[in-house]
Chain A
Amino acid sequence: DAEITQSPRHKITETGRQVTLACHQTWNHNNMFWYRQDLGHGLRLIHYSYGVQDTNKGEVSDGYSVSRSNTEDLPLTLESAASSQTSVYFCASSGQGINTDTQYFGPGTRLTVL
């Protein structure tokens, strides 16, 4: 069955370190998204991609970067982790066709920056 996975599921790191969160989908979806979820804020869009080599900034992109070298993967990199980036991160994907707006989410990565 097609799915979307994230790794690691939990990560503890220190301020200033570079961190990369992985997202892999087997839906063959063109569109991929990264969100963070924080109490009182719901889901906020960090970066998104509509295809290979395409990346775009979302609402809260400062301090984050993404790259899209193939259809299946959209890794999220925190260049220099800050305590404000402690959050739960979700990756999502959506495809072509009738239900392009429906995004399918991964299980999330809980990141703690000490």
Chain B
Amino acid sequence: DQQVKQNSPSLSVQEGRISILNCDYTNSMFDYFLWYKKYPAEGPTFLISISSIKDKNEDGRFTVFLNKSAKHLSLHIVPSQPGDSAVYFCAASARLNSGAGSYQLTFGKGTKLSVIP
């Protein structure tokens, strides 16, 4: 049973346009969400996160939106650059709802973003 779903395995976007990566979750206990970016032959790197008490968090070109009622979050990249081409993982945590001592992340399968020059 996949608790974090990224239904689009791949996405192609023209340079300068907006990239929108989507993520759905099923576990209502999740209260913290993260996006990671991964280049080939490297480990995932943290990109941006959002707590369930917020519906938006912005960091430069990257914005994450959270719709709790729909159990959906999205990552917007504006404007998209060729260097953004990577696999993006959505991850979720239920730490606050699970009490102290639970720091696990549940990951989606990833979306490969290709930004075309």
Asked if A108 and B43 make an inter-chain contact with CB atoms under 8 angstroms apart, the answer reads: yes
Tell me whether B43 and A90 are in contact (CB under 8 A): yes
Q: Chain A residues with Cβ under 8 A from B43's Cβ?
A: 4, 90, 92, 105-108
CA–CA, A104 to B110, complex, Å?
17
How near does chain A come to B90, taking the closest CB pair, in angstroms? 9
Which A residue sits closest to B9, measured CB to CB? A40
Q: Which of A11-19, A41-49, A62-70, A71-79 contacts B (4 or more CB under 8 A)?
A: A41-49
Q: How far is the CA of A75 from the CA of B113 in the complex (A)?
A: 33
Interface of B is mostly: loop
B95 at the interface (CB under 8 A from A): yes
Near A by CB (< 8 A), chain B positions 31-48 give 32, 34, 36, 41-46
CB-defined contacts of B49 to chain A, threshold 8 Å: 99, 101-102
A100 within 8 A of B: yes
**Of B53-61, B63-71, B98-106, the one with at least 4 CB within 8 A of chain A:** B98-106
Residues 78-114 of chain A, each 1 if its beta carbon lies under 8 Å from chain B, else 0: 0000000000001010100001111111111000000
Partner among B95, B103, B107 whose Cβ is within 8 Å of the Cβ of A42: B107
Q: Contact check, B42 vs A102: say whether CB atoms are below 8 A apart.
A: no
Residue B80 lies at the interface, judged by CB distance under 8 Å to chain A? no
A103-B105 in contact given A90-B43, A108-B43 (Cβ < 8 Å): yes
Distance of A62 Cα from B6 Cα, bound (Å): 26
Task: Name the residue on B nearest A106 (C-beta).
Answer: B43
Report the minimal beta-carbon distance from B100 to chain A, rounded to whole angstroms: 10
Instruction: Identify B34's interface contact among A31, A90, A101, A107, CB under 8 A.
Output: A101
**A105 and chain B: residue at smallest CB distance:** B43
Looking at B36, B103, B108, which has the most chain A CB atoms within 10 Å of its CB?
B103
- Listed by A's residue number, 11 A-B pairs whose Cβ atoms lie within 8 Å are A41-B109, A42-B109, A48-B104, A50-B101, A99-B49, A101-B32, A101-B93, A103-B105, A107-B41, A108-B41, A108-B42
Interface residues of B (CB under 8 A from A): 6, 32, 34, 36, 41-46, 49, 89, 93, 95, 101, 103-105, 107-110
